[in-house]
Amino acid sequence: MHMKRPVNCFVVAMAVALAGCAAGPDFERPAAPEATGYTPEPLSVQTASAEVSGGDAQRFVQGMDIPGQWWTLFRSPALNALIERAFKANPDLQAAQAALRVAMENVSAQQGFFFPTIQANYQPTRQKMSGVLAPTLNSNATIFNLYTGQVTVSYALDVFGGNRRQVESLRAQAEWQRFQLEATYVTLATNVVNAAVQEASLRTQIAAIEEVIKSAAELLELSHRQLDLGAIAMSDVQAQEAALAQTQAALPPLQKLLAQQRNLLAVLAGSLPAEGSGDRFDLDSIQLPLQLPVSVPSKLVEQRPDVRAAEAQMHVASAQVGVAVANMLPQFNLAAGVGSISSSAAQLGAAGTAFWIAGASITQALFAGGTLLHRKRAADAALDLAGAQYRSTVLSAFQNVADTLRALEYDAEALKANARAERAAFRSLELVTAQVRLGSASRIALLLAQQTYQQSLVSLAQARAARYVDTAALFQALGGGWWNRPSVASGNGSDEAARPAQ
């Protein structure tokens, strides 16, 4: 038999489907905020400076683009290598890559509904006919074998665009997952930088306290000699012992924090804590970037992965409204089949055994208990929800940038003040120590001087680290430069990002 007529029906049906309008609203990207700045007051041209390592002034450069590998601006080969290892082995990043592949495959799977479904069926059966209620074979045998071979073609016409909206929704979902992946890249790099800086800060603090402990121990030894000579009282020696013990007590908490940072670095790089990260960081080996980008506010919504992800969720919700509307409208289906039936498998396809069938159906729900209507209303509400979440994400993004810019300004001021305090505390300790050696100052004065200097060293190291951490936070707040990563810039970012790390 010939399938010319059913095939013609499919061609016409596909043309109708392609020419039809998709139900529901067409998604339009939200307009970018019209803000001209991030802070109520004009941003300073540059930060304050301090006469310590890492105390150089940082300059804010309006409209400066962010490199895809912004962490290289810290000029630390060890840090660069650690981040690259993290990109290859971090399981959270691998999970985000796998999630993107799932989303992309779901898009491809849904696109399959644009094409007819073709199925082949072969059915051998053994039957017994009564001869009264059913016809028998020409041979009048009531027990016989029956072999049926059939190819069927079915096609659901997407007249109102329900499938097109579903594909659109899944594509937007894949976009959401892609921006989730980009956010994971940026967050991972930022976390590694922060952990490395915190390790470096802790090492500086520990080294400073160890120097104070060394000086205090030497002074205690001198106190014992003076006690033996009768130059001082036992109470003076005990005061010095208490000062030494108090300084030593400050060391274990810092060592604990250092061990935890080392474990964190190992885990971020995809290793077990016992394996370690293999790198040691100190503040002098990490340079502070002196040129800080400040993106045009209207571009922030283009650059932040979380904002782009929220926009994609709006797109998902918009397309789902179209799906809900299309489900309320008539559903059109075409079906056709051709086959052969015989009591002998060897006779399948022989003359006189062929059959064919072709038909169409239109289905319209007349009553479904309000299910379709409420699903449409739920889709409308989901779109409102996604819109509100998008606006909230945009507000949080601008707040994040504003907070970070102000933090960088005040970080520089804090470092300047802490540098002055450390120098003053050091000179005071030197003076009091000399006076104690000469017997012209009390041990209480020395104890206070030691405590003040110890705290100034810790505060100075923390102030230095804060500038590095908030510099990394600014790069993250402005989007992390993901659009300048080589794979994205070359136009195959989605494919590249979906691949597992090698």
Check: CB of residue 143 under 8 Å from CB of residue 127.
Answer: yes
What span, in angstroms and rounded, lies between the C-alpha atoms of 413 and 50?
Answer: 8
Q: What are the extents of the domains in the chain?
A: 4-22+52-498
Q: Going residue by residue through the chain (502 aa), what tens digit of pLDDT does each one get?
A: 444 444 444 444 444 444 457 888 999 999 999 888 999 988 889 999 999 988 999 999 998 999 999 999 999 999 999 999 999 999 999 999 999 999 999 999 999 999 999 999 999 988 877 766 666 666 677 787 888 999 999 999 999 999 999 999 999 999 999 999 999 999 999 999 999 999 999 999 999 888 888 888 887 888 788 788 777 778 878 887 888 898 899 899 999 999 999 999 999 999 999 998 778 899 988 999 999 999 999 999 999 999 999 999 999 999 999 999 999 999 999 999 999 988 888 888 888 888 899 999 999 999 899 999 999 999 999 999 999 999 999 999 999 999 999 999 999 999 999 999 999 999 998 898 888 777 777 767 877 888 888 889 889 999 999 999 999 999 999 999 999 987 765 555 544 555 444 4
Position 238 scores a pLDDT of 85
Structure tokens at 200: 């470096």
Check: CB of residue 444 under 8 Å from CB of residue 475.
Answer: no
Position 102 scores a pLDDT of 97
Check: CB of residue 375 under 8 Å from CB of residue 365.
Answer: no
Looking up tokens 């017994």 gives 128
What span, in angstroms and rounded, lies between the C-alpha atoms of 34 and 299?
Answer: 10
CATH superfamily of 4-22+52-498: Outer membrane efflux proteins (OEP) (1.20.1600.10)
DSSP calls for 289-343: P-EEEE--HHHHHHH-HHHHHHHHHHHHHHHHHHHHHHHTS-EEEEEEEEEEEES
Q: Which of 197, 186, 188 is nearest to 270 (CA)?
A: 188
Q: Which of 59, 60, 56 is nearest to 416 (CA)?
A: 56
What span, in angstroms and rounded, lies between the C-alpha atoms of 50 and 416?
Answer: 5
Position 8 scores a pLDDT of 47
pTM of the predicted structure, to 2 decimals: 0.86
Q: How far is CA 160 from the centre of its chain?
A: 36
Looking up tokens 């304050």 gives 48
As a residue count, the chain comes to 502
Position 116 scores a pLDDT of 94
Position 470 scores a pLDDT of 96
Position 131 scores a pLDDT of 61
Q: 113-116: list long-range contacts, CB under 8 Å, 24+ apart.
A: 113/156, 113/158, 113/163, 113/166, 114/17, 114/158, 114/163, 114/167, 115/155, 116/10, 116/153, 116/154, 116/155
What span, in angstroms and rounded, lies between the C-alpha atoms of 407 and 389?
Answer: 26
What span, in angstroms and rounded, lies between the C-alpha atoms of 439 and 39?
Answer: 56
Cα maximum dimension of the chain: 134
Alpha carbon of 404 to those of 39, 48, 409, 415, 469: distances in Å? 10, 16, 9, 16, 10
| Distance in angstroms between the alpha carbons of the first and the last residue of the chain | 55
Q: Write the CB contacts of 24 (distance below 8 Å, at least 6 apart in sequence).
A: 161, 165, 318, 319, 321, 322, 323, 324, 325, 326
* Neighbour count for residue 227 (Cβ, 10 Å): 16
Q: Write the CB contacts of 119 (distance below 8 Å, at least 6 apart in sequence).
A: 151, 152, 154
What span, in angstroms and rounded, lies between the C-alpha atoms of 296 and 198?
Answer: 31
